[in-house]
Amino acid sequence: MNILKHKRNRLTVVVSAGLVLAMCAQPIQASAEEDVMPAAGIASVLEARLSTEEYIAAAAQAQGASWGYTNIGIADVESGNLNVRAIPSIDGKLVGKMPKNSACEVLEVTEDGWAHITSGEVDGYVSLDYLLMGPDAKMKANSIVSTVAVANVDGLNVREQASTDGAILTQVPKGEEMEYVETLEGWVKVSIDGEDAYVAAEYVTVNERLDTAVTMTELLYGAGVSDVRVELVEYAKQFLGNPYVWGGTSLTKGADCSGFVLSVFKKFGVKLSRTAAAQSTHGKKIKASELQPGDLVFYSNASGRINHVALYIGGGRVIHASSPKSGIKISKYNYRTPVKCVSILQD
């Protein structure tokens, strides 16, 4: 229960989420019968004692500790990604990229406008011109943190209903993160590529997370790949982090999964159908073991109808327009069970 207790020269606000704020304040009159103020009175007292900005900053600072960051930084780019370099120089080798709103630990700030950071598996330097720090970063993190359900077992069944009788939509590998919706009795409701589904609660862990940087290894396409495949994949990766829009085909303003693929291939003079199901009829069907950068990977719903497409970029990963919440992102190619792989390019 939310309560506000009166102390002679201090107010202690106990918030249901577990956040505790202690601040100096003038004494408050309490009744003789009890030294407790009803929960309804908290908001008015906070309004009198704290500005909105101060409260948000304090809340974000307290919450930030649970995310595992001591000195958090947030990538502040309009679109695209913040480059992470091996040395504090624009000529430094690229070692990773931080998508918009991804988080990092700031280890050191140089005198010439760079920050030494770690983010995910990336360690390097980013320009301070595109990095939020201090209270600004904490407030931003508090507004963008997402809740995910992480699979604790391989081949986790994702079902159409919250029941073992529900049709299996797909399977996800151990460690895969799914967008969390809500917890039910014995089940967790998740969203995969914008579609609601259910997983057994005993096989997932629900926690909060912030996006982190992507390593160059995750972005590499591999050796022995034709120039056109390299160019197509490099072109597609420019739009990492851009928005998902249902029915959209804009690589900058928003696209859905098939709209993203359609527009990437259009740049290279290849015309594809509009929907994922129709795109799966193009090109040559191949095995997953034969995938090369530039090939397409398709996924289906419980009825077997293809409803999602992703572009293979090498290293066992795909780039795809996933959902309104996550936008254009990189995933393992088997983040859900692939049902078909197709080679479109003739090389």
Q: Which of 6, 24, 104, 257 is catalytic?
A: 257
Distance of CA 94 to the CA centre of its chain: 22
Whether 24 sits among the annotated catalytic residues: the reply is no
What does the chain come to in residues? Answer: 347
Give the active site residue among 6, 104, 116, 308: 308
4: Cα separation from own chain's centroid: 36
Q: How many CB atoms lie within 10 A of CB 172?
A: 28
Radius of gyration of the chain (CA): 24
In the numeric block, which tokens belong to residue 182?
């809500």
Four-point Cα dihedral 227, 219, 290, 191, nearest 10: -130
Active site residue 308: yes
DSSP codes of every residue in 91-143 = TSPEEEEEETT-EEEEEEE-TTSEEEEEETTEEEEEEGGGEE-HHHHHHHHHH
Of residues 116, 282, 320, 341, which has the active-site annotation?
A: 320
Annotated catalytic residue 320 = yes
* Residues marked as catalytic: 257, 308, 320
